[in-house]
Amino acid sequence: MRTKRTLMQLFGFLSTLLLCFLLTSNSYAKAPTKQDELNKRLQALDKYTKTLALIEQYYVEEQNITDLVDKSISGLLSNLDAHSSFLDEKGLSDMKMQTSGEFGGLGITVGMKDSALTVIAPIEGTPADKAGIKSGDVILRINGEATLGMNLNDAVDKMRGKPKSEITITIFRKGAQKPFDLTLKRDIIKVESVYAKMIEKDDILYLRVTTFDKNVAEQARKAIKANPKVKGIVLDLRNNPGGLLDQAIELTNLFVDKGIIVSQKGKIQAENKSYEAAKGKKATDATLVVLVNGGSASASEIVSGALQDLKRALIVGEKTFGKGSVQSIVPISKNEALRLTIARYYLPSGKTIQAVGLEPDIEVAAGKITSQDESFSIKESDLKQHLQGELEKIGAEKKASKNESKEDKNIITSKQINDDAQLKAAVDAVKILNIQRGSAK
């Protein structure tokens, strides 16, 4: 009996050992070797070169091999994500021009969102802004040509052209009954990236940043230093599509002197970086409120997100666009480069803004503050007297408009504030925070 039990145990042990051996050998057999990986790469490249050769040989129209390769690279990059792209000689030149603060076109920043050519933001004071183009608008056609499936760089190229030349774009806007056409005149776009005004009677500095070009941080520092005794600052980043990372970091550093502003993480260890506030660069301790909306993207989200996480500012407005990826310009020849997504941005709290955006502390929709005086209610018996009064008002308004034109352009009036519900909320927030500060002392 004991012998039988021993034989059974031995048989079980040997069976288990054999099973382990078979599983291990099977896993080794499945593990790809370096040679297997090399063969796969060679097969893929062989497929590509054969495809190019077949196109050259059989395609109905004559094809240039350089153009074919450029188009295939462009298609490859655009299929990775909405922000990666191939920059040919013209594209690289246009990009350098845009970050320098002056370029030609409509004054509109666009990107691909769910495969649709979507407006990130119009640049203030440009043809696109004056035509009423809004963040979130989808451009369906450019001069009658559908944008569906169009490369982002090609779309941008089609919207640029000679100054004063006309272009018609077809817009789909959420809430509109149907798409509509807008005809605009192209112009040389000179971007005033930073300007400052004072809020009338409140001793609050209004600091508007329209885009993050190479001049932003220095211009903002000058505006803050020129108004050292203000009771608060409203930093307006609405419809700011972003720009240079270093300028976003330096602008944030004007308001904080310690802590991580932003970090980035990618596939390559060398791209994993953290950017901290530098001591001695802080320019003000004034109460700070930041305005954002759906057109605030990339660098705008880094600044507002960092100031929110570091408890330095209150964020007012609407949820931001949600572009939190890092693009690097990688040269592949003297005049060509790849704009390649190499990492994602992370806020001080560790949150990402990619595709989710930033939630404001106080959500306020765009609009106008209405007052009781604007209502029109009148009895028939009072009609004549009322109309006489209205005529007098028209005369007074004409005089007022003449006086307004003479007013200081560096002042934001009470009327202008009431015409902008988000700005009104920001100004009120500065006042409340100052009261809280005073009571805490």
**Which pair of structure tokens corresponds to residue 303?**
């600044």
Length of the chain: 441
Distances (CA, A) of 378 to 314, 387, 394: 43, 10, 18
254, 284 in Cβ contact below 8 A?
yes
Pick the closest to residue 78 from 156, 140, 171, 159 (CA basis): 156
CB 264 within 8 A of CB 272: yes
Catalytic residue among 74, 298, 300, 304: 298
- The answer to whether residues 421 and 368 touch, using CB atoms and an 8 Å cutoff, is yes
309 is catalytic: yes
Segment (H or E) for 338: strand 337-346
Phi, psi torsion values for 97, nearest 5 degrees? -65, -40
Decide if 323 is catalytic.
yes
The encoded tokens of residue 287 equal: 């109460």
Tokens of 150: 């169009």
* HSE (side-chain half, CA atoms, 13 Å) at 390: 11
Tell me if residue 7 falls in helix, strand or coil: helix
Q: Which residues are bridge partners to 427 per DSSP? A: none
Tokens 């880094």 identify what position?
302
Question: Residue 221 has which token pair?
Answer: 């520092």
Query: Of 296, 309, 325, 424, which residue is the catalytic one?
Result: 309
How far is residue 286's CA from residue 289's CA, in Å, rounded to a whole number?
A: 10
Torsion of CA 250, 253, 258, 263, to 10 degrees: -40
Cα separations in angstroms, 250 against 101, 217, 299: 18, 6, 11
Q: Which residue has the tokens 């090609």?
A: 154
Structure tokens at 186: 């192209």
Structure token pair of residue 405? 């034109």
Distance CA 159, CA 169 (A): 9
Instruction: Pick the catalytic residue from 134, 197, 323, 424.
Output: 323
Active site residues: 298, 309, 323
